[in-house]
Amino acid sequence: MTRTPQQVFADHGDRLGTGDLDLISRNYTEDAVFVTPEGVLTGRAGVREGIGRLLADLPDAEWRLAPQFAGDVLFLQWTATGDAHEVLDGVDTFVFRDGLISAQTVRCTLTPRTA
């Protein structure tokens, strides 16, 4: 039985919490695309690179998520606050296929954290 987008996203959140990029990337299709303003990363290796950068910029951050599902698409607004940096305008889009994430866009502004 194929997982629903909601199940995949819940599992994705659990995996992100581990920081294990190989484990995280297994929730993506082998031909996944990870699109950012800096460019397009492809495959699970690209996912590991893109998510690795984000987690490195926001280690041990507190995340606040506002997901909106529409069939096989998720629109996600988010904020994250870490010790040194924060994101107040995070927006991702996920596309799901066959119980995995096949595409993700990420747009956010990383700024030094203000007191």
Per residue in 19-41, pLDDT (tens digit) is 999 999 999 999 999 999 999 99
Give percent above pLDDT 90 in the chain. 96
| pLDDT range class, residue 1, cuts 50, 70, 90 | confident
> Coil, strand or helix: which one is 43?
helix
Residue 115 confidence (pLDDT) above 70: no
Nearest-angstrom CA–CA distance, 80 and 59: 10
pTM of the complete model:
0.94
Say if CB 78 and CB 64 are below 8 A apart.
yes
> Coil, strand or helix: which one is 7?
helix
| pLDDT tens by residue, 83-96 | 999 999 999 999 99
Residue 11 confidence (pLDDT) above 90: yes
Comparison of pLDDT for 1 and 62, the residue scoring more: 62
Query: What local confidence, expressed as pLDDT, does residue 114 receive?
Result: 79
Mean pLDDT, the chain, integer: 96
State the DSSP code for 98. Answer: T
Residue 103 half-sphere exposure toward CB, CA atoms < 13 A: 10
